Structure formats: C-alpha cells, structure tokens
Structure 1
Amino acid sequence: MNQPIIVTSKKSRYGVVSILSLFMTLISGLCIFAYSSELHSPILSLLFILAGVVGVAFFGWSFVFYTKRIFAKELPPILIVDDMGITDKSSAISIGFIPWEDISYIHLQPHLNQTYISVTLTDNDKYLAKMNAFQKYSSKANLKMGFPLVNIVLTTSNQTPQQVYYAILHQYGDKFI
C-alpha cells in the first residue's frame, strides 16, 4: 500500500488568481460594450460581443470559485492520489474522483507558460455525462484543442506540477502504464 499524495493550496495564491479573474471579467465586459456600436462592422461587433459574453461567463465563474475558496475556513486538498485513483479538485472544471481503471495515460502538458498534469481517460463520455453545463462546455473546448479531458492545475499549490507528476509516476506508475 502506497502513501497517498496530498496536494494542498495556499489562500494567498487564490487571492492572486481571484484578482486576475476579476480583471479578465471586466475586460470581457468591456468587449461587449466597446464593440457594440454602429461605428464598427456588424461581423466584428458580433465577434467581440460573443467573445465578451464567453469571457464574462468563464472568468466570472472563476472569480466566484476562487473567491469562495479565499473565505473558506479550511481549504480541502486540491489533489489526492492514492491506491484507489485520483481525486482532482484543482479548478472549477475538475471532475473529482477518477479510479485507476478509467485512466489510460498521465503526462505533463505545457501550455502558455503553465504546465498541467494531463490525464487521458479510457471513456471521456462517462465523465462528460457527470458534468454541469459549464464544465462540459469548458472540457469540450479543451478536447477540441487537442488536450485530454482532465488537466490538473496546480497554480494555487506550493508544489510544482513536475514534483507531483514524478511522485505519481514513482508511487503509482504501475496503475496506468
């Protein structure tokens, strides 16, 4: 029996991410109103309005998610890896517990100055069915861009994705390789 890997987060990191989410929500809102005049072409106005609405929805949800974490009395672990599987609660689109038998591959995925621990599942549809509308929309966008359904974000953690990934490989690599 292996020792569980438990990754926690720092409230101060949630504060930074929450402020960034609020800023991006405001910028997205600006897109809605700044380009909705008759001075611009209708197609350009429509694109900016659409991008603004999607941005407000995504970053607004993120702002609420991270702000709630700041005011929580005790922060739950954002990632638990044990003999049963992986429990991911690192982001607003995390899907929770995934047993080892549903995992086919785990790897590091760098993207835009951030590295994720990406988890390829044996059946994406099984987990998409459990998601709310926001999670489905965001996860399907990730899939369309070529990313796996599960991408573990450790931005708010005091550990790097590389540290956690190699600990997973060392302790649980036989479960999915």
Structure 2
Amino acid sequence: MQADRWVVANARGRYAWLLLLSSAFVALGAAIVLRKPGLEAYLIGGALIVFFGAGVVLFAFQLIDRRPRLILDDEGLYDRTLGVGTIPWRDIAGAHLLSMRGHAFVCLQLRNPEHWLGKLRPRQRRLVALNQRLGFAALNVNLSGVAADPLAVLERVLKYSAMYEPGRG
C-alpha cells in the first residue's frame, strides 16, 4: 500500500492578514513619532515601528514563500521548519495532537529520537528539554500558519506510520 503525496503550504490568507495588521501598527508608530514631539513619543512610536516592522518583513516573506511547508508521501514526513529532512514512516512509532494557545502541534513519537535530535541545530536541541517539560515530544510538527486541518494531518501521520510499521507486510 502506498501513501498519497500530500503537500501543505503556508496559509497565505493568514499571513496576508498578519501583514496588514503589522503594517497598520508601523503606520501608527510613524504617526506617533511625527505628531507628538518628545522622548516618550519617540520611544513608543519607535518601539512600534521596530517590533511590527520586523513582523512586516517576516509576514511578507511567509506570504510570498511558495515552498512546501509539509510533505507527507511514501518516503515519510518532511517538515521544512524542523530542519531534519524527511523522517521515514518506519521511524515514527506514533503521534498525538497538542494545542497551546490556539496553535496545534503534531507530537511525533520516534523509534530512535537520538538520531533525529542529532540533526537539530544546537539552539533547537536546547529547546527540546523545555518542550518535553511542557508535554510535547522531542520533535513536533508546528501547524500554525499552514493551510491544513490539524486532525487531518494527525490522521495521515498515524495511518502512514502504521502502514510502514516494522514487521508489517
């Protein structure tokens, strides 16, 4: 039995909304700086411009980024944001869904987590222990900002990992 190739992209509508919202706050910051002379206005307006200006850059990039965010196919699960490459289905023992502050995550139960943790950047490895204290797995697929239903992603991960389970014909 073969897995269907499922490619999931960024949720462009969500990033368009966030870009618009961030741009409005940058404009508000500029208006504060230009209309209210004084140190307090420069600090408040400047903070709005810097913080939401960074958001404008980030959300604009996410909006135009056409690369797949997730790919689930015969090879396994690929999450571009994890940075570990494709995780073969035979290496995934199970998964469960967790949500934190409205953001869904598919928590992967890996057969050999050390192998995959070794592929993470040092900063990411330091965050793994914190994630696990919060009830997450070592590797988690972050579904915020993607155009996919979290339950559908979990269902496919469980289905595909069961199909490729070691010893199964």
Q: Return the TM-score normalized by structure 1.
A: 0.60
User: Structure 2 vs 1, CA of residues 151 and 10 (structure 1 numbering), >3 Å: closer, same or farther?
Assistant: same
SS in structure 1 at match of 2:131: helix
**Farther off after superposition, 139-148 or 149-158:** 139-148
In structure 1, C-alpha distance between the alignment counterparts of 2:158 and 2:90, rounded to whole Å: 16
- Give the counterpart of 1:69 among 56, 61, 71: 61
User: Structure 2 vs 1, CA of residues 67 and 5 (structure 1 numbering), >3 Å: closer, same or farther?
Assistant: same
In structure 2, C-alpha distance between the alignment counterparts of 1:103 and 1:158, rounded to whole Å: 23
The amino acid across from 2:66 in the alignment is L
Gaps of 5+ in 2: 26-53
**RMSD of Structure 2 on Structure 1 (CA):** 3.3
Query: Corresponding residue for 1:82?
Result: 73
Equivalent residues of 1:107, 1:119 under 8 A apart: yes
CA shift, 1:95, in A, is 2.8
Query: Corresponding residue for 2:142?
Result: 153
Query: Corresponding residue for 1:6?
Result: 7
Gaps of 5+ in 1: 24-61
Q: Percent identity?
A: 24
User: Structure 2 vs 1, CA of residues 117 and 68 (structure 1 numbering), >3 Å: closer, same or farther?
Assistant: same
Query: Corresponding residue for 2:152?
Result: 163
CA shift, 1:111, in A, is 2.8
User: Structure 2 vs 1, CA of residues 135 and 98 (structure 1 numbering), >3 Å: closer, same or farther?
Assistant: same
Query: Corresponding residue for 1:132?
Result: 121
Q: Return the TM-score normalized by structure 2.
A: 0.62
Structure 1 residues 114-125: aligned runs within 5 Å: 114-125=103-114
User: Structure 2 vs 1, CA of residues 127 and 165 (structure 1 numbering), >3 Å: closer, same or farther?
Assistant: same
CA shift, 1:171, in A, is 5.3
Runs of 4+ in 1 over 6 A off after TM superposition: 62-65
How many aligned residue pairs are there? 134
CA shift, 1:142, in A, is 0.9
